[in-house]
Amino acid sequence: MGRRERDPAWADASAREDLAAAIHETTNALTVILGWIERAREAAGDKPDAVDALRRAARYTRAARQGMRRAIGAEVPERPPEQAAGLAERALEDLAVEANRASIELTSDIDDQVGDQTLVDSDTVWQVLVNLLLNAIAVTPERGSVGLDVQGDGARVCFRVSDEGPGIAAEHRDTIFSSGQSRTTGGAGIGLRHAHALARELGGELVLADAKQGACFELRWPLDGRPSRAPDTVPPPSGSTQAGLEGANILLLEDDAAVIELLELSLEARGAQVTTVTTDDDLRSSLDESRYDVLLVDLSPLEGTLDETVERARRTNPDIGVVVISGSVTVEPRPDIVWVRKPFEPGELVTAIVRQRSGD
């Protein structure tokens, strides 16, 4: 019996559905990770090593969150400019554990004249540098070295990432950013292609440079004329992060157990009373039986439309505030609800709930 050919239109629709599901699961996971990082930072207190490790974990997770938001077409907040030297140094520091695990030495040479210059879209620069450095570490033999140099390039800064791996074969040099071929064993070949496209989209350039040994990639990025921002710091837990929801009666519609656990813990720690339902039918029953101040609703468990859900909620709870928590961008926003994009941090959600309770 011959293999059945799949209809191309069906295959495309199926692939889009699979991708949407994967994005949904990933945004949920990032939301949970960021929430638990926040909780751990509050508990770390005056333990500098723990606080620093959590700060780095949070920063990397936020970078992944920005990528997910960009992938689904959601707005990506603009970050303040950052110094080129600081970007390079923290990229190296963030990968120190990985390099040590692989017995690789990380080296750097930063031109003093350009190191304090600031760059646009600094988070993206960091993301591309981390991708290049991880590739370089993966292909460099034990006790080898990986370098990150920063030099001036006219109105741009040039970051050079070099390794001591096998290099790029001559027949692959022209297609290294388009073929989908991975430099690392078991890789999907997506990282370099994505980094190259992202750099071009934001006014930068990623190129494969000549190297005497191994491979060398150059990331050229435009300078920014605004003042640089101060280095990342970890603010101590304050009363404002633990308060603001005293007495709030919140109805949560969410079908992901990990997200439920995180939200119940975070909101109840701030003084709220949370009732959780996982299906549209349970939501209807809860709205009929009790009164709530705020409805938190994830779109995925809804059987009807968001508009129908809001109208149903306000028939029995006329003053209820509605906060939508979802990564979807397919629903038209309404001025009377607040939208919190997944993945989010608990602090973002608390701010949205406070706004709804105050009528802002």
> pLDDT tens digit string along 254-313?
988 878 887 887 888 788 999 999 998 999 999 999 999 999 998 888 877 888 999 989
Longest dimension (CA), the chain: 74
Share in percent of the chain as helix, strand, coil (round to 5): 45, 20, 35
Q: In terms of pLDDT, which residue wins out, 201 or 179?
A: 201
Would you tell me which CATH number, out of the four given (3.40.718.10, 2.70.150.10, 3.40.640.10, 3.40.50.2300), belongs to the domain 239-358? 3.40.50.2300
DSSP character for 356? H
DSSP character for 22? H
The CA-based dihedral angle spanning residues 285, 288, 294, 299, taken in that order and rounded to the nearest 10 degrees:
40
- Residue 235 has a pLDDT of 38
SS3 letters across 56-81: HHHHHHHHHHHHHHHHCCCCCCCCCC
Residue 334 has pLDDT above 90, yes or no: no
Query: Mean pLDDT over residues 143-163, rounded?
Result: 94
Instruction: Write the pLDDT tens digit of every residue in 135-145.
Output: 999 999 999 99
Task: Tokens for 112, please give them.
Answer: 């003093």
Helices 84-94 and 48-71: crossing angle in degrees, nearest 10, is 110
In this prediction, residue 211 has a pLDDT band, given cuts at 50, 70 and 90, of very high
Q: In terms of pLDDT, which residue wins out, 241 or 166?
A: 166
Counting Cβ atoms within 10 Å, is residue 3 exposed (0-12), middle (13-18) or buried (19+)? Answer: exposed
Instruction: Write the pLDDT tens digit of every residue in 246-265.
Output: 889 999 999 888 788 878 87
Residue 29 has pLDDT above 60, yes or no: yes
Question: What amino acid is encoded at 245 in this protein?
Answer: L
Residue 147 has pLDDT above 90, yes or no: yes
Residue 21 has pLDDT above 70, yes or no: no
Q: Domain spanning 82-224: which superfamily? A: Histidine kinase-like ATPase, C-terminal domain (3.30.565.10)
- Residue 32 has a pLDDT of 65
Which of 78-82, 128-132, 154-158, 308-312 is least confident? 78-82
Residue among 96, 68, 132 at smallest CA distance from 328: 68
Residues 252, 275 contacting (CB under 8 angstroms): yes
In this prediction, residue 335 has a pLDDT band, given cuts at 50, 70 and 90, of confident
Which of 222-231, 274-283, 284-293, 318-327 is least confident? 222-231
For the chain, what are the domain ranges? Answer: 14-71, 82-224, 239-358
Alpha helices in 270-337 (DSSP H): 280-289, 306-316
Q: In terms of pLDDT, which residue wins out, 133 or 257?
A: 133
DSSP string across 189-220: S-HHHHHHHHHHHTT-EEEEEP-SSS-EEEEE
Residue 244 has pLDDT above 50, yes or no: yes
Query: Mean pLDDT over residues 6-25, rounded?
Result: 54
Query: Mean pLDDT over residues 111-136, rounded?
Result: 87
Among 145-149, 240-244, 350-354, the range of highest mean pLDDT: 145-149
82-224 and 239-358, same CATH topology: no
Neighbours of 343 (CB within 10 A): 26
- Residue 275 has a pLDDT of 94
**Owner of token pair 């699979």:** 18
Residues 124, 198 contacting (CB under 8 angstroms): yes
